[in-house]
Every structure is written in structure tokens, then in C-alpha cells.
Structure 1
Amino acid sequence: MLSSHSFLQNSPFLSTTRLLESKTRPFLSYNFRPSSFTICSSSVQSQKQDVVIVGAGIAGLATAVSLHRLGIESVVLEQAESLRTGGTSLTLFKNGWRVLDALGVGDYLRTQFLEIQGMAINTEDGRELRSFKFKEEDESQEVRAVERGILLETLANQLPPDAIRFSSKLAKIDKGGSGETLLKLTDGTQLSAKIVIGCDGIRSPIATWMGFPEPKYVGHCAFRGLAFYPDGQPFEPKVNYIYGRGVRAGYVPVSPTKVYWFVCFNSSTPGPKITDPSVLKKQTGELVKNWPLELLNIIDVTPDDTIIRTPLVDRWLWPTISPSASTGSVVLVGDAWHPMTPNLGQGACCALEDAVVLARKLASAIKSEPKSVENALKSYETERWPRIFPLTIRANLVGTLLQLDNPLVCSVRNNIVIPKVVRLGPILEHTNFECEPLS
């Protein structure tokens, strides 16, 4: 592994904390659109950077922390004014926790979130179809629902001061001279980066620039929320799933006072964007109004500002057809590369895996010639693609099967497939991922 000292002494790259002397000159700045840019007159503060990460979500921060632990500093550009700590929670299985341990934050997070012991599957009228205990299926399994905001703050706290630059929205990306990449921001700043890592989410402008199509809507939308019980939530530490016809729901304790829930429903289109929380709560209640009272009570005690509605999308990375994950020294990580539906609980886990795999390969290559960096990025894609592509398809198929509304099919699912056929052990095999500490 590279120490910080050896990297700075031996690498042809400058430390990202060293900037060239700032200078001002006219240039064209751009407001980003998927395929066109609006030109306006401005001035630019030209800066040289070694590694620039676009996006301070889970993928971006995990990548920055991974590189930092390997002695490589980076600048993280985030378009928002602060960390986007809103939203609800996400479920992390053992592969996610192994990465968090490698990043040095696993034990800290464990103190705040309950370990989930198992799962139960019920029908909309309250009949239990099947229950599992995770440790009985896999002794090494670890499952916890984690608040997204706390995870982001924990990762951000591992980085040096000023490593994250807020209010830094990408306007344009372009190739510069000497193999560098030019990043133009909406505030007029221009950066010249030796390596650019796109962690800018599902609607990634960098992925668009690299030729990736927009993620495809899969025909389902989901309401999500985080219920709050100031005097303590009453539920056992297990995931509870409820399956209906074309609608399914679930809830899981996150901490002693919070419970995450979701309601997924079929919709031919993503529908209009709705931000009024009272409307979102009302629509959710109408979908499950005759379902178990326990679920309705959870939704009822959910603070309005935690309820969101999102269309579910994914992108299948077809071999030889889809663009490469890297172009020169620009590479994609997490949702920017492989958005997947949440049906396997692997979106965040895979983003964390991406981060450590990419960081290790860059750490081995960055002290060599620039071509070695490009080879490292290709090696990252070669290693990650065989894992990401099948998981994306599997998550899609699971969601499609669970969202079927045909009465006969649902009857077979509830009376034969789930009670007699499904085995949890093989389903969880995809959570096997070895991750050594980063140092």
C-alpha cells in the first residue's frame, strides 16, 4: 500500500491540496442540460487537481475515504449547499459492512443501528407465509438498516477539512490537453483534473457525456418513510414484508426509535413529481388502507418531511453493447454506472464495493505512468462488471415477480413458491464479498 509520504514523493501527480496559482481570464461557462449547454459570459479561476470526485453521495464519499486511507487525496464536488442528508434509510448486508469495516467506520455505525435477526413474509390480510432467521441461513450474515444521512456524515468526517466543495455544480465536462479532463462549474470555476471519478447518481451528467442512455423506468414506484417513536418503537428486529396484488410493502426497525417502511406499487408511468408530504402520505394510505393495522400505524406516525416517492429505474450493462465504465481517465462508480432496483438491497452495498476496488487499483497504478491509470480503470471495470450485471438483472426480475397482479399467479406465489420453494441461503449468496482493511 502507498503511504501518504511515499505517494507525494514518488507520484508524478501533484497532491490535490496543492493548487496552481489562481489566475482570472474570460471563458465560456455552461448550465448543464443532457445534450446541450447555454453559453454565458463569466470569468474563471483555473485550478489543477489530481483526483476529482463528482458527487458527495455514498459512492463519492466512500471512494474519497478509500483513496484517503491509501494516501491519495481527492477533491469532492457536491452541487448542494451541504450534505444531502435527507431521505430515509438503506439496508446493508454483510458485504456492505465488510467495506465499512475496511473504511474504519463499521463499529461506530453498529452502535447506532439495530442488527436485524430475520425476516417474515405475510399476505395483505395478515397471514404469515414464511419466516427466516439470517444466522440460521448464513452464520456470517449481518443486516442492519442505516439512516442515509448518518452514513454520509460518518464518511464525510473521515476526510480532511475542505475535501468536499459544496455548491459546486458541474456545467460541462470536456477533454483537455495532456490527457487531462476539464470540468467547468456553473459558478465559473474551471478545474483541470488528471483523474475524474463520476459518482453523480442515477441521472449522472458524466455518464451522459460518456454515452450511457438514461436509466429505464421498470414500471413500479415506491413510497418510503422513516417513522419516529419518541418513547421507543415496539417491533422485533426483523424485516417484515407484506405482499398483495400489484402492491407490496415492508418495514424494518432502524434504531430504538425509528422504523423504515416502503410501499411499492405498479404504475404505467413515473407520474408527476409530488413534493407535498401530506399528499404523499394520503396516497400511501389509500394504497394499503385495508392492510394490517400495524403498517397503517407506522405510516401514520411518520414525520412528513421523511416521506418520499420515487420511480424505480435501472440500467443493464450489456456486454459489447453498453459503453465502457471508463473513458481515458474518467470513470463511473455506483449508481452513475449501474443503477439497480432496490429489490435485493444491493444498490448501496455495490457502490461501497466499487469504491474500495477502484481505490486499490488506482493506488497501485497512480505512481506509474499515466497509461497505468487508464489500465487500472479498465481493470476495475473488468472485475466489477461480472458482479454488477447479474445483480442488476436479478433485482429487476425479483421486483417484476413480486409486483405481478394476476390472481392465479399471486395464489401460486403465496401458497407454493414462498412457503415450499424459496430458500434464503442461496438468495443471499450474492452478499459474499471479501474486503481487507485499507491502509
Structure 2
Amino acid sequence: MRAAVIGGGIGGLTAAVGLRRVGWEVTVFERAEALPTTGTGLGIWRNALRALDELGLGDPVRRAGRRQPDGIVRKPDGARIGVLRADVHLVTRPALLAVLAAALPRDTIRFGEEVGGADCDHDLVVAADGINSATRRALFGVDVRRSGAIGWRGTADVTVEAGGETWGRGVKFGLTPQADGRTNWYAMTAPDADLAATFSTWHDPIPEILASTTDVLRHSLDYLPPLPAYYRGNTVLIGDAAHAMTPDLGQGACQAVIDAVTLTTCLAKSPETALRAYDRLRRGQTQRMARRSLLLNRLARTRHLTGIRDAAVGAALALAPKPRNDTPWSADLEPDELAG
């Protein structure tokens, strides 16, 4: 059986590894000319690491990153709102993709080739072509919507011991330490905001981190409305192609990994009904997570009654249950969604 994977990102490469493990011949079509060599960090939560353990890749990913200590959620003046329990490894995108690619034969990924689902004469087409998926548009005619917020990301040559987030009036700033001693950071503002001016008076080390960053990424924070299904015919959607969400829960990369492992598990158990089983297992979970992420995004963007908001966030963090080690990787991990 032959499978075409459209997109050589996190979901696509994880799917390729999994499909080969269950006996498929796989070709990955990636429009970029090579794997990226630069990129900011990704939070890989316990559920995704356990899914990667199913493919024998959990430990290499753990070694490629750094376990994150608990962080603090603060106000712009540095006052504490609550403790953010972190059951997560921070791994840079290039490092994660390198681990996944190393688990595939060299000729599996065809770089510099952009194809559509209709161009693939394969038994299975896995569309992992991202938030602006052309495959999804062709199947369902659905595109992403704007949240009304702008995301900023970068890496600074500044060392911090622990990460966390700071919430202001309609804006927020987050940071996480990387394994190499640098700091990965992200921010959310209104579309017309000036990054430096917005955060120049916030608590240390935020001004220093921004001053030490040379390459800043700016992008709209978009999300996908719920799809009626994650497959049609022999084509199946995974990752952002299926359920692009705002980054507020820090689960985008994780859910792409879980999609891919769930898909390959379904194919191994019941090939005839695998896509239907995958849709049943993943659509409800990921669409609930996307809704909660968007609600959290809107909560962070509020400009009024922020004292009440901060008190509610602090209470929610205090009441959040500690992550359990016996929860299956495929479970609907609502406590982790809140912790995210």
C-alpha cells in the first residue's frame, strides 16, 4: 500500500514514520528545498511525548530539548498572578524535525515538490499542508478566520531560569528557556501595536529580551472553524490542516503529533475503517481544544476588568490538578489544556 504525505512538517513527518512502521510505502512531498535550520521553540507536552514513544522517538525528542520548570504568570509590574505547572519539553522546530527526518530513509522526503491531493496516485493521501491547506479548501471549501490578534516570536541571547507569561490590558508576553542557554519568547498584541513600545515598561527581563532579539517573526493569529469531517474518500487531514487553533494552549504541534500517531494506529488495527475511526477519535477532541484556545485568546485580549480576569486566572491555576503519569497519550487531557 502506497501513501502520499503532503507537507514535511511535524505532523507530516510523524505520520510518515508511523505509516512505515505499520507497513506502508511512504512518500513525503515538501515544497521547501530543505529542512529549516532556524526556528523558535515548541512546547511538547507529556501527551505528545507519550505518542512519540509509540514510535520509539520520545527519548530522542526529550534529549533534543529541555524539560521546563514551572513558570509564573505575572502582571506587567511583576506581581504574581499564579503558578503555571509545566509538564513540557521545549524543543526547537529544527531539532524536532531533524529527529523525525532521521527516522526515515533518505529518499522518503521529496524536497522542492508541491503537489495537491488530486495529483497523488496513491492508496492514501495524508494532507499535512498546514493552516492554509490547499487540500482542505479543495475538499471542504473552508479557510481560516482571523482572531483579531497578532503574534510575535523570537529568540534572545539572554538566559532565564524559568519561563512564564505576563498578562496586560489586551496583550501578553511569554518566555521559555531553551536548552542552549538562550530564551524563546512570544507575544500577543493588537494589529496596530508597536512591539517595543508596548512592552518597554514591563518587568525585567522583558525589555532586555526584546533588545537582544534581532530576528522577530510577526503573523496573524488565525484559527479554523469546525470541519464536518477530517477525511473524504482516501484523503485525510491532520494537524493545522484539520484544526488550526490559536497558540494560547501551546498544543498545536502536540496535536499534530497525536493526529499522526492515532491515524497510523487506526490503520494498523482496522485498515478498512481506519479513516472513520481516526475522525471519531480526533475531531471532537481537537475541536474542543480549538474552542478553548480561542476563548483563552479572547480572555487575554480583554482590556476591561483585568483585575477580575487576573483573579480568575490565578484561581484556575491554583485549582488545576497536577498532571497524572498514568493518563493515556490518546486521552482528552482537559487538565493539561487548562495548564497549557
Task: Tell me whether the two structures share a fold, i.e. TM-score over 0.5.
Answer: yes
Distance 2:145 2:38 in 1: 24
Asked whether the equivalents of residues 64 and 95 of structure 2 are also in contact (C-alpha less than 8 Å), the reply is no
Change (3 A) 1:395 1:133: closer
Match of 2:179 among 244, 255, 261: 255
Change (3 A) 1:433 1:310: farther
How many angstroms does 1:219 deviate by? 0.9
Distance 1:150 1:101 in 2: 17
Equivalent residue number for residue 341 of structure 1? 246
Match of 1:361 among 261, 266, 286: 266
Q: Which amino acid aligns with 2:92?
A: E
How many angstroms does 1:379 deviate by? 1.3
Equivalent residue number for residue 277 of structure 1? none
Equivalent residue number for residue 35 of structure 1? none
Equivalent residue number for residue 88 of structure 2? 143
How many angstroms does 1:97 deviate by? 1.1
- Match of 1:293, SS state, is coil
1:413 to 2:297 alignment: no
1:434 to 2:339 alignment: no
Q: Which amino acid aligns with 2:110?
A: R
Asked whether the equivalents of residues 117 and 125 of structure 2 are also in contact (C-alpha less than 8 Å), the reply is no
1:123 to 2:109 alignment: no
Percent of aligned pairs with the same amino acid: 31
Match of 2:149 among 220, 229, 246: 220
Q: Which amino acid aligns with 1:298?
A: I
Asked whether the equivalents of residues 64 and 96 of structure 2 are also in contact (C-alpha less than 8 Å), the reply is no
Distance 2:319 2:43 in 1: 16
Alignment of 1:322-401 (within 5 A): 322-366=227-271, 372=272, 375-401=273-299
Change (3 A) 1:192 1:104: same
Q: CA-to-partner distance for each residue in 1:106-125, whole Å, 9 max, x for gaps?
A: 22232232211212011111
- Match of 1:423, SS state, is helix
Match of 1:79 among 31, 47, 61: 31
How many angstroms does 1:424 deviate by? 5.4
Equivalent residue number for residue 14 of structure 2? 62
1:312 to 2:221 alignment: yes
Match of 2:200 among 276, 280, 289: 289
Q: Which amino acid aligns with 1:339?
A: A
- Match of 1:159, SS state, is coil
Asked whether the equivalents of residues 48 and 329 of structure 2 are also in contact (C-alpha less than 8 Å), the reply is no
Question: Whose radius of gyration is greater, 1 or 2?
Answer: 1
Change (3 A) 1:110 1:339: same
Asked whether the equivalents of residues 170 and 190 of structure 2 are also in contact (C-alpha less than 8 Å), the reply is yes
How many angstroms does 1:432 deviate by? 4.8
Distance 1:387 1:428 in 2: 18
Change (3 A) 1:117 1:127: same
Q: Which amino acid aligns with 1:227?
A: A
How many pairs does the alignment contain?
A: 330
How many angstroms does 1:359 deviate by? 0.6
How many angstroms does 1:339 deviate by? 0.3
How many angstroms does 1:131 deviate by? 2.1
Distance 1:335 1:264 in 2: 20
Match of 1:152 among 93, 97, 102: 97
Distance 1:221 1:381 in 2: 31
Q: Which amino acid aligns with 1:312?
A: L
Asked whether the equivalents of residues 102 and 435 of structure 1 are also in contact (C-alpha less than 8 Å), the reply is no
Residue ranges of structure 2 left out of the alignment (5+ in a row): 332-340
Distance 1:388 1:298 in 2: 33
Ranges of 4+ aligned residues in structure 1 off by more than 6 Å: none
Asked whether the equivalents of residues 72 and 363 of structure 1 are also in contact (C-alpha less than 8 Å), the reply is no
Asked whether the equivalents of residues 87 and 308 of structure 1 are also in contact (C-alpha less than 8 Å), the reply is no
Q: CA-to-partner distance for each residue in 1:387-425, whole Å, 9 max, x for gaps?
A: 11110100000110011011xx102123x3234454353
Equivalent residue number for residue 196 of structure 1? 125
Q: Which amino acid aligns with 1:51?
A: A
Equivalent residue number for residue 49 of structure 2? 97
Q: CA-to-partner distance for each residue in 1:84-133, whole Å, 9 max, x for gaps?
A: 34431111111111122222222223223221121201111121122244
TM-score (norm 1): 0.71
Q: Which amino acid aligns with 2:208?
A: N
Residue ranges of structure 1 left out of the alignment (5+ in a row): 1-12, 14-49, 135-141, 175-182, 184-190, 272-281, 367-371
